[in-house]
Amino acid sequence: MRLLARASSALAVAALLLAACKEKVQVVTPAAPPKPAATQGFTFTIRDLALATAVDASAARLTLAGSEIEAALLARDPAERAKAAGHVPTLDADRAEVEQAVARVTNGLDQPGAARVQAAAKEYAARLAAAAQAPSAPLTPELAAARASFGEALAGYRESRAAWRFSGSPPLGPEREFVEARRDMERAETGFMSRTRVAPREEGHEFDAASARMAGQMAVQKARAAAALLTPALQPHALRYTAAQEKVLEAVNAIQTARENEKPALARAYHAAKAEALAALADYFAVVSAR
């Protein structure tokens, strides 16, 4: 679980920055996520994890809507820029989903971080909606700052999960194999994104893209095999997650060799796949917690 939280926290910032890689305004780089709060004496359940992952999924959908609006606003063709307003209803619906997901978080230790995500999402959505209503105006530093703050809040929220101490027994059998395969896919994803946007590689530890790609493909195959052995209640969510995460890996792999003008579209493909993967994972955890 620590790997999932840390990988997601890094990607939260990286994905938001990729969405605006051609932006001509000052971009405010998010500060490092806050260190996880101490959780001594606190235990978390799989239900808590399901609710937190649902917040992640709704935030990822909002990120996708935001990237669609910003891509339209950055287009050279005035007719394409005018299409930004058409994405605002989806943006509003996704912002409302974030609020609803945050409202369902019941663990007192998790609520402050979720509330920060909600506040940052509201500000980012408001800035985007205003920009979409004035498509001929340049994107503002305030929008860039709101995007950065949203990424920072989401990264901090996900990173806080690295310190969680879970109650209950660890998964066994096919469920354990699925967890291991999921971690392998997330390691491959983190490796690609670390090389792309998150942090420079240390000298002497060059990233091997071919090995990461192969490891990701093997993990996808392992996840599919494990999912086929899961109970009927868990199987569809596991298969849905695996299919979406495979698309995530394809997107981050493609970004490695893409030209700069191709990266925004690939980033949007990444956002869409990641939102689907997180939603499937939230449903998977919810079924596990209901047993």
User: Quick one: tokens of 181?
Assistant: 């395969």
Of 17, 57, 114, the residue nearest 273 (C-alpha) = 57
Contact criterion met (CB below 8 Å) for 121 and 92: no
- C-alpha dihedral, 74 to 76 to 79 to 85, nearest 10°: 10
Nearest to 59 by CA among 135, 152, 194, 189: 152
Q: Going residue by residue through the chain (291 aa), what tens digit of pLDDT does each one get? A: 444 554 454 445 445 545 444 443 333 334 444 444 444 445 799 999 999 999 999 999 999 999 999 999 998 899 999 999 999 999 999 999 999 999 999 999 999 999 999 999 999 999 999 999 988 888 899 999 999 999 999 999 998 888 888 887 889 999 999 999 999 998 888 877 665 544 444 444 555 677 778 888 999 999 999 999 999 999 999 999 999 999 999 999 898 888 988 888 998 999 999 999 999 999 999 999 998
With 0-12 / 13-18 / 19 or more C-beta atoms within 10 angstroms meaning exposed / middle / buried, residue 206 is exposed
C-beta atoms surrounding 35 within 10 Å = 11
Query: How would you class 193 by CB atoms within 10 Å of its CB: exposed for 0-12, middle for 13-18, buried for 19 or more?
Result: buried
DSSP H/E element including 9? helix 2-18
How far is it, in rounded angstroms, from Cα 30 to Cα 141?
13
What does the pLDDT read at residue 137? 84
Check residue 187 and give its pLDDT: 86
The model scores a pTM over 0.85:
no
How far is the C-alpha of 240 from the C-alpha of 243, rounded, in Å?
A: 5
For residue 166, list its beta bridge partners: 44
**pLDDT value for 214:** 87
How far is Cα 253 from Cα 258, in angstroms, rounded to an integer? Answer: 9
Cβ–Cβ < 8 Å for 238, 227: yes
Domain regions of the chain by residue span:
2-289
Q: Would you state the pLDDT for residue 190?
A: 83
Tokens of 179: 């967890």
Exposure on the CB side of residue 229, measured as CA atoms within 13 A: 11
d(CA 264, CA 270): 10
CB–CB of 246/269 below 8 Å?
no
CA-wise closest residue to 157 among 71, 34, 291, 27: 34
- ∠ CA 9-230-239, nearest 5°, is 50
pLDDT value of position 207: 59
Residue 131 and residue 87 in contact, taking contact as beta carbons nearer than 8 Å: no
Using DSSP, state whether 211 is helix, strand or coil: helix
